[in-house]
Amino acid sequence: MAGAEWTSLEESLEKHLPLLDLQEVKRVLYGKELRKLDLPREAFKAASREDFELQGYAFEAAEEQLRQPRIVHVGLVQNRIPLATDAPVTEQVSALHKRIKSIVEVAAMCGVNIICFQEAWTMPFAFCTREKLPWTEFAESAEDGPTTKFCQKLAKNYNMVVVSPILERDSEHGGILWNTAVVISNSGAVLGKTRKNHIPRVGDFNESTYYMEGNLGHPVFQTQFGRIAVNICYGRHHPLNWLMYSINGAEIIFNPSATIGALSESMWPIEARNAAIANHCFTCAINRVGTEHFTNEFTSGDGKKAHKDFGYFYGSSYVAAPDSSRTPGLSRTRDGLLVAKLDLNLCQQVNDVWNFKMTGRYDMYARELAEAAKPNYSPTIVKE
Ligand SMILES: NC(=O)NCCC(=O)O
């Protein structure tokens, strides 16, 4: 399984395919070719100084007579943890705040309106360890914890909606933990929060040791720049989870994630892209980068040797559109900011062509699902 030595699928294709093959492969793998954004030179300079990758692409929609284009710039941030996992908790959090601030500054230069960070961005992805301390100390109030206050400042300074996925400590309900994304308006006010609905029980993703499935349903947030929702990580394997955000009106669904190559890399390019197609919306898939090493070894419950790391988080963040086009991924190896210019009019335009919303048989599914969820249900199987 490739780690940091393999940069990206895109780089391999560019390097090894003859031009004509490359064009056809890209057509199939990425839909129509997207225009590269002409991002400011200072932004590239700052990204290079701060040692992160910067890429920008534009999704176009057809001109309409009655509606103006609805342009929004989204920013996706992927990063390594800057400090070792055994550094003091406050130092790890501050180092991450500092790192993210430097990336958000560049996003502001690029005119980003809505930015989203990776899942549990203020901490190592330590749920593989099943240890409680010090990891539970990274949990914060979604409403007024230090990270939310930090993001409120960024949001206000840069007139940017900030989606901040954190480990939440819910003091109103017995101090329990949740895997939460806080949505902060560009005014600096906390617009609300949403929680991870599906908790993985696969490989070393032992997250059910820490928190339960989210209880907030599928909220959609009306921002100045469009209606957004957040489908946290493992929720991307559940088509109905995407569907419910879309049914509630989401035009952009962010998918902040933490996932490793050995487990999911072949699913990664498909799932968020398919969700954008199936739901006539934009999706933004974000994954962290690198290998995180822990002090104590843990087992995967599979009879194999105990180990001290999770595996390789392969980055590769991308944006997908309802017309099946998508951006290339950020690299597998570096911190990065992906800027995408979206015209939200594309959602309705594709809806009017493909009609998935109109042809979806929601009443029939709802009836059948309601029956299937009953304990005494028996499936309809027609036999000879
Ligand atoms: N963080 C998380 O839910 N990871 C689960 C693994 C995956 O969905 O690829």
265 lines ligand 1 (CB under 6 A): no
Q: Between β-strands 114-116 and 161-170, what pairing exists: parallel, antiparallel or unpaired?
A: parallel
Q: Residue 1 has what pLDDT? A: 77
205 lines ligand 1 (CB under 6 A): yes
Q: Residue 73 has what pLDDT? A: 98
Q: According to the 3-state scheme, what is the secondary structure of the chain?
A: CCCCCCCCHHHHHHHHCCHHHHHHHHHHHHCCCCEECCCCHHHHHHHHHCCCEEEEEECCCCCCCCCCCCEEEEEEEECCCCCCCCCCHHHHHHHHHHHHHHHHHHHHHCCCCEEECCCCCCCCCHHHHCCCCCHHHHCECCCCCHHHHHHHHHHHHHCCEEEEEEEEEEHHHCCEEEEEEEEECCCCCEEEEEECCCCCCECCECHHHCCCCCCCCCCCEEECCEEEEECCHHHHHCHHHHHHHHHCCCCEEEEECCCEHHHHCCCHHHHHHHHHHHHCCEEEEECCEECCEEEEEECCCCCCCCEEECCCEECCCEEECCCCCECCCCCCCCCEEEEEEEECHHHHHHHHHHCHHHHCCHHHHHHHHHHHCCCCCCCCCCCC
Q: What are the C-alpha distances in Å from 37 to residues 304, 339, 340?
A: 47, 8, 8
Could you report the per-residue pLDDT of 186-197, keeping only the tens digit for each? 999 999 999 999
Tell which residue, 331, 286, 316, has the closest CA to residue 100.
Answer: 286
Longest dimension (CA), the chain: 71
Q: May I ask the CATH architecture of the domain 34-61+77-295+304-314+323-349?
A: 4-Layer Sandwich (3.60)
Alpha-carbon gap, residue 231 to 246, rounded angstroms: 11
Query: What strand order describes the sheet that includes 282-286?
Result: 221-223, 226-230, 252-256, 282-286, 318-320
Mean pLDDT to the nearest integer, 299-313? 93
Neighbours of 11 (CB within 10 A): 14
Q: Residue 320 has what pLDDT? A: 98
Nearest atom in ligand 1 to the alpha carbon of residue 196 is 3
Could you report the per-residue pLDDT of 362-381, keeping only the tens digit for each? 999 999 999 999 999 999 89
Structure tokens belonging to residue 155: 């949001």
4 pLDDT higher than 90 = no
Q: How does residue 166 score in pLDDT terms, banded at 50, 70 and 90? A: very high
Domain boundaries, the chain: 34-61+77-295+304-314+323-349
Looking at ligand 1, which residue's alpha carbon is closest to its atom 9? 259
67 pLDDT higher than 80 = yes
Task: Tell me: cis bond preceding 134? Omega within 30 of 0 counts.
Answer: yes
- Percentage of residues in the chain with pLDDT exceeding 90? 96
Q: How does residue 50 score in pLDDT terms, banded at 50, 70 and 90? A: very high
Active site residues: 119, 196, 233
Could you report the per-residue pLDDT of 213-269, keeping only the tens digit for each? 999 999 999 999 999 999 999 999 999 999 999 999 999 999 999 999 999 999 999
17 pLDDT higher than 80 = yes
Looking at ligand 1, which residue's alpha carbon is closest to its atom 8? 234
Could you report the per-residue pLDDT of 324-345, keeping only the tens digit for each? 999 999 999 999 999 999 999 9
ipTM over 0.90: yes
Looking at ligand 1, which residue's alpha carbon is closest to its atom 3? 234
Mean pLDDT to the nearest integer, 71-78? 98
Q: Which of 135, 259, 260 to mutate to test the pocket of ligand 1 (most atoms within 8 A of CB)?
A: 259
